[in-house]
Amino acid sequence: MSVLKNTRYLDALLKKPIDRTPVWMMRQAGRYLPEYREVRAQAGDFMSLCKNPELACEVTMQPLRRYPLDAAILFSDILTIPDAMGMGLYFETGEGPKFTKSLNDLTDIAALPVPDPAKSLKYVMDAVSTIRRELKGEVPLIGFSGSPWTLATYMIEGGSSKTFSKIKRMGYESPEALHLLLSKLADAVVEYLNAQIDAGAQSLMIFDTWGGVLSPRNYREFSLDYMAKIVDGLNLGKDEQRVPVTLFTKGGGQWLEWIADTGCDAIGLDWTTDIGEARKRVGDKVALQGNMDPSVLYASPQVIRQEVQLILDSYGAGSGHVFNLGHGITPDVKPENAGAFIQAVKDLSPLYHNK
């Protein structure tokens, strides 16, 4: 594969000197772009788009044609693993993901297979290798997965939830069942992410979208310990060839020290944590990714630029910061505002680096 021309993102994750802060956006390939909406309509539905490697490659590349981003992220969904376990994933307009199969007890969970990524998830690996070829070494490619806890919430709740009552009840009434599910999911995520590395992913991210709904003790028991198990099981390499891994727990700002102890290379921050305070807490142990409130992108370019400046000031000088939103870009943001955000990072951040 092509030699990587822009290494800023990987260098920042490994805290190497860089000339400016790298930037990419969660959900940078998505509904805020008219060209994405056209391809999704062509695919017919969301999962058909995910399962078509050529179309997944196309939408991955679309934001890179518009903006000077420092990384591409695989276009896929966090629920591909439950789908490959036979849960029957589908999406209803306006209601989010749902499953045709439900998990109610230990018997249901014991019957779940751990999927072979070379078979039931081959379409993801084909997308990774296709995107790597198409990138031609311009920027690195990020692979990803949902965390075991986050995947389990969808599988037990049957879809999205506001209260997480079913999975929390299982955690208290039948913890052995929940731990069996989380263990199976951790094994599946390790195999899935290692297969993404083999297919060409140059960095990895684990999205723990719902870890923040847990109490501190339950967060460690049901979410963090399994993410640590995954980090330990990944074939990340070392030194110049290391594939850095970022853990992102939405609502997890109170547990940064715990997250840093997992062996990850970087912690993703949502916008509720001050990035300067986070840097003081974790020191040089890990890099930090984040963490502008996505809602700032509704503002004028001037306000967006001011917010970028404030976050850069808060983090301070030196490497170890990957600029991003604190969560995914929202569908009704104007593409030109996303462009103003990325350009502001590009314009303002060199002052914080002396390379």
Residues above pLDDT 70, as percent of the chain: 99
Pick among 3.10.20.30, 3.20.20.210, 2.40.440.10, 3.30.420.480: CATH of 33-66+71-235: 3.20.20.210
Is 279 labeled as catalytic in the residue annotation? no
CA separation, residue 51 to residues 85, 121, 354 (Å): 16, 9, 44
Whether the pTM exceeds 0.95: the reply is: yes
Is 31 labeled as catalytic in the residue annotation? yes
Residues above pLDDT 90, as percent of the chain: 92
- Which pLDDT band, with edges at 50, 70 and 90, does 67 fall under? very high
Amino acid occupying residue 28: Q
Binding site listing for substrate: 27-31, 77, 154, 209, 327
Is 40 labeled as catalytic in the residue annotation? yes
| Annotated catalytic residue, options 9, 67, 70, 77 | 77
- Which pLDDT band, with edges at 50, 70 and 90, does 153 fall under? very high
For the chain, domain boundaries: 33-66+71-235
Is 154 labeled as catalytic in the residue annotation? yes
Q: What is the DSSP string of 262-326?
A: TT-SEEE--TTS-HHHHHHHHTTSSEEEEEE-GGGGGS-HHHHHHHHHHHHHHH-SSS-EEEEES
| Annotated catalytic residue, options 27, 37, 220, 242 | 27
Is 37 labeled as catalytic in the residue annotation? no
